[in-house]
Amino acid sequence: MKGRVLGFDFGHKRIGTASGNRATGTTAPLETVAATRQGPDWPRLVGLVHAWRADELVVGLPLHMDGSESHLSREARRFGDELASRTGLPVALVDERLSSSEADDVLTLGSPPGKSRHRRRLAHRDSIAAELIVRTYLADNPAPTCNR
């Protein structure tokens, strides 16, 4: 396990991205990448992986509340497989149940009411959800410690 993790919140219209550092345990939202009917913007996504020099990738797996898979979870798995194929990096899947709701909560805190809050939420929700996915992954897969 190396240090740089890049996370993805897969969606049909937008894909949120975030970074994480295994050594420090820190995470940060990056950008939201557009997707179309033709699929994700692969050049942009692969470019982010290279620009951040990621060592491992994490894709959120949207499951039903009972843990069963949905149509979108199967698409997220395919997205992860394609991401691994295009980058040559390992891809882990992380249960992302409630990450979008939690992202909404994060965005609501400290935001003034009204349209500006709504615009901010739409602009950043997916990247915040990706950050929460990376944070979950790092918490569940801590860096090995050195025993001397």
11-20, 36-45, 62-71: the lowest-pLDDT one:
62-71
The pTM score is 0.82
Does residue 127 contact residue 1 with C-beta atoms inside 8 Å?
no
Q: Is the pLDDT of residue 28 over 90?
A: yes
Write out the DSSP string of 21-33: ETTTTEEEEEEEE
Does residue 53 contact residue 38 with C-beta atoms inside 8 Å?
no
pLDDT score for 118: 56
pLDDT range class, residue 145, cuts 50, 70, 90: low
Q: Is the pLDDT of residue 106 over 80?
A: no
Give the closest residue to 22 by CA, choosing from 146, 144, 129, 147.
144
Which is more confident, 101 or 142?
A: 142
